[in-house]
Amino acid sequence: MLATTGPDFVLALGRHRQMAAIAHDLLDQGYPFLMEKPMGINAPEVAGVAAKAARLNAFVAVPLAQRYAPFAMRARELLAAGRFGPLSHIYVRINRPGPARYPAWDCAWMLDPAEAGGGCLRNLGPHGLDMFLYLTGEEAEVTGAQLSRRAHERPVEDYASVMLRSESGILGTVDVGNGFPVMALTVSGRSPAGTPFSP
Amino acid sequence: MKDGITKLATAEGDETFPGATVTSPYFTALRDALDHWGRGAAPPISVHDCARAVQLIDQAYECAA
C-alpha cells in the first residue's frame, strides 16, 4: 500500500502485537509517522523502535493527547510559576467504559493478552504514566502495583493501580480501568507560605 | 480536575476554572505533530516519551505478578 500510495506522512494504527513491526517497516522505508500508543506489547519492543528512530533521526510522533487537556496545561502553568512549592504527589485516574465495546468495534483482540500485551494498564497506562513523567520532568520507577480482573472477568485486567516515585521523591499514583467513564487528576504541593496546595 | 472541572484549592480558598475544551486533545495532538513535521522540527511527543511510559508499565506488570 505504501508503494502504491506514496504518502508524505503516515498515521499508523494496528493491533498492539503488530505495532512495533509496522513502525520498523515505516522507519526502514523512510516514512515520517505518528503511531498510536502503546507501539508494542512490551518495553523492549518499543525501546527497539525508539533506538532505530534515534539512529535514523526519524520523525516518530505519539499522540499522548492528555498533555493537551486543560488539566495538564493548567498544571504546567502553575508548575512553571512555582505555585506548588515543593511538589508532593500526583494522582491520575483514567477510567474508561467496559470491555464490551471492543467486540462491538470488531476489536475483540484487545481482550487477548497475546495480541494486546495486557489490558487497561497496557492501553491506558501510557497516558497516566506519561502525565506523571511530563509534569515532574524526571525519571521514575514503579514502587508498587496491583491488577484486577474482578469487574469483568476477562483474560486481561480491567483495573490497575500503580504507585511510583520520581528521582527527587515526588510520589505518583496512577489508576486506570475499564469500569466507569470518570477521569480525575490531582497535583499537590505546598505553597510558599507552607500551606497545602492543589488544583 | 474531575468531571471536566479544574479546581484550584489554596489557603486563600477555592478557584474553579471552566473545564470545557473547545478542541479535542486528540485533534490538537495530531495537528501539533503535523505542524512540527511540516516545519522540520522534532515531534512534540515522540516514541521516546512512549518508551519511557511503557518501561514503567512493564515494571508495574512485573511488580504485580
**Domain-embedded: residue B3:** no
Which parts of chain A register pLDDT below 70? 181-186, 188-199
CA A128 to CA A126: how far, in whole Å? 6
A145 & A72 share domain: yes
**Domain-embedded: residue B46:** yes
Please say if the pLDDT value at position B2 is more than 70. Answer: no
User: What tens digit of pLDDT does each residue of B10-59 get?
Assistant: 777 777 776 655 568 899 999 999 999 999 999 999 999 999 999 999 99
What value, to the nearest 5°, has the Cα angle with vertex A44 and ends A39 and A45?
35
User: What tens digit of pLDDT does each residue of A132-167 get?
Assistant: 999 999 999 999 999 999 988 999 999 999 999 999
Number of domains chain B contains: 1
- Residue owning grid cell 525519571: A139
A25 & A98 share domain: no
Q: What pLDDT is recorded for position A85?
A: 81
User: Could you list the residue range(s) of the whole structural domain that residue A10 is in?
Assistant: 2-61
**Domain-embedded: residue B1:** no
Q: What pLDDT is recorded for position A194?
A: 56
What ipTM goes with this model?
A: 0.91
The answer for A 28-47 residues in CB contact with B (under 8 A) is 32, 34-35, 37-40, 42-43, 46-47
Residue A5 phi/psi, 5-degree rounding, is -90, -30
B64/A147 CB distance under 8 A: yes
Q: Does A135 touch chain B (CB under 8 A)?
A: no
**Domain-embedded: residue B39:** yes
Q: What pLDDT is recorded for position A21?
A: 98
A182 & A114 share domain: yes
Number of domains chain A contains: 2
User: Could you list the residue range(s) of the whole structural domain that residue B29 is in?
Assistant: 23-64
